Structure 1
Amino acid sequence: MVATARKSQHNGGIEVDKAVVADVLKVLARHNPRLSKAALAATGKVMAAISAATARLSAEQQRRIAADEKELAQAVEAVVASLAEKSRRNLEEVPVGKPLEVSTGTGLGQSLGIEEGRRRLAEFATPARIEDWAGPVAGPGDIEKMFGTKRSTLHDWQKRGAAIGLLKGERKHVFPLAQFVDGRPVEGMSRIRKIIPNPRVAWQWLIQTKPSIGGAPLDRLKKGYVDEVVDAAARDFR
């Protein structure tokens, strides 16, 4: 098996055909079944490179090399040993970082009772009205007065995900007014709710600006960019 020699355009060295390396590896694997994969790969590359370099020599030079097998083996062994030593030195020269510092931390600290925990949590919690983050909202009665929408229709919209109702208190639902256009829910809302089932999360996502689509998703829905907004929701929540 003789490898085809090509001169590299980048550095003037020998380029070894990958197909040749593959052939060499097959032969090596067949005759050396116990050779590890790493050793097999390295040996194959060495043999292919030597074959490619030899192919560039004249017939007389090839004859001289083949005449003394012992000298040839010693020369190849010397070259491989030199490369191995160079690789070892390069590894030793790689800077090693400082030893890792093991830290156990300060632990969890003293356990708190349930009442003390609630008290401390209350110090951080800031109560906010639903209108403060959701915008103007209205209950079913007020929506019926404003838009003439029957409560049964509003309930059906909410059930199908076409309209978003936010829980206020224990059981009462209110509806953000910004989702209605001419008394009806904006088109595409039900598709958004299939992707974002939680109504609060869905509404917060709809009213926050998203630079990737050029504005708030709700505003983009009102302008007719339904597919664009649905795709954005799918990217964020799937």
Structure 2
Amino acid sequence: MASSQMQRNGAGQANVAARVASKVKDALRSDKAFEAGSLALSARIAGAAAAAVVDLPVEARRELGKRQGELARGIRRLVKAFSDEPFVGKIELDLPENVAPSTGEGLGEIVSGEEGERLLSDIAVARRLEDWAGPVAGATELSRDYGVPRSTLNHWHHAGEVVALLKGTRNHVYPVEQFVDGRPARGLAAISALAGNSRIAWFWLSRPNAALSGRKPIDVLKQDRVDEVVDVARAYFDAQ
């Protein structure tokens, strides 16, 4: 029981850290004082600090509020201590003074596109779309089994409001799990835009996420908690 409580607390803190980091990053993005690297790091530090504070007892928060100057100095000392230790976490290697230069093996034989595809097919492992995406349905099945008109589905597809996965060379199928009462969950367009690719978006949406207390993002979207999922997605994909 104690272990489960600790896991829930840890997941909740990770969620807070991710949401705060995302909002701080957005707020400071136009500030010229921050370079790309320092902006991302500052946002993560802010998120970690917020996660550490959120579960403190009221008395402890009040005490910290009275000692903000001391707290700020402590944070500066901590950051400086880490930056002054360039070899922390690194392995020192005893390298010989003279190292023979390596020229490598160079490029292999150049082959045609057809030959390249044949060579790849020899080592590729076939995997069905449903094996990772879950149950999917085409336009005909959605119309017959879920009452989704083809014209409506086509509109959602072109508006980016539904996740469509290419199966074969031309046909699209739609993960059934994304629909609620015959409509795609709100927020799918925002997630797809952040991911930049429908397959990547659905893979992220359909996997348990620690920042969402171990729940799948698509399940949280279906509860209409769009802002929460988008914040977590932005923190994840912006860091890629």
Q: State the Cα deviation string for residues 8-39 of structure 1 (Å, max 9, x = none).
A: xxxxxxxxxxxxxxxxxxxxxxxxxxxxxxxx
Matches within 5 A, 1:214-229: 214=213, 215-229=215-229
Offset of 1:118 from its aligned partner?
3.1
Q: Which whole-Å CA distance do the structure 1 matches of 2:114 and 2:158 have between them?
A: 39
Q: Output the TM-score relative to the length of structure 2.
A: 0.54
Q: Which whole-Å CA distance do the structure 2 matches of 1:106 and 1:204 have between them?
A: 37
Q: Contact conserved, 2:185 with 2:224, CA < 8 A, in 1?
A: no
1:55: which partner in 2? none
1:118: which partner in 2? 117
Structure with the greater alpha carbon radius of gyration = 1
2:166: which partner in 1? 167
Unaligned runs of 5+ in 1: 1-95
Q: Which whole-Å CA distance do the structure 1 matches of 2:109 and 2:146 have between them?
A: 57
Letter paired with 1:99: E
1:103: which partner in 2? 102
Q: Output the TM-score relative to the length of structure 1.
A: 0.54
1:181: which partner in 2? 180
Letter paired with 2:151: S
Indicate how the Cα distance of structure 1 residues 220 and 103 shifts in structure 2: closer, same or farther if over 3 A, else same: same
Offset of 1:212 from its aligned partner?
2.3
Q: Which whole-Å CA distance do the structure 1 matches of 2:193 and 2:181 have between them?
A: 23
Q: Which whole-Å CA distance do the structure 1 matches of 2:136 and 2:165 have between them?
A: 9
Unaligned runs of 5+ in 2: 1-93
Q: How many residues align?
A: 144
Q: Which whole-Å CA distance do the structure 2 matches of 1:152 and 1:114 have between them?
A: 39
Question: For 2:162, what is the secondary structure of its paired residue?
Answer: coil
Q: Contact conserved, 2:195 with 2:237, CA < 8 A, in 1?
A: yes
Offset of 1:140 from its aligned partner?
0.9
Offset of 1:136 from its aligned partner?
0.7
Indicate how the Cα distance of structure 1 residues 134 and 100 shifts in structure 2: closer, same or farther if over 3 A, else same: farther
Question: For 2:166, what is the secondary structure of its paired residue?
Answer: strand
Letter paired with 1:218: I
Q: Which structure would you say has the larger RCO, counting Cα contacts within 8 Å and 6 or more residues apart?
A: 2
Matches within 5 A, 1:223-238: 223-238=223-238
Q: Verify: 1:130 aligned to 2:129, yes or no.
A: yes
Indicate how the Cα distance of structure 1 residues 115 and 100 shifts in structure 2: closer, same or farther if over 3 A, else same: farther
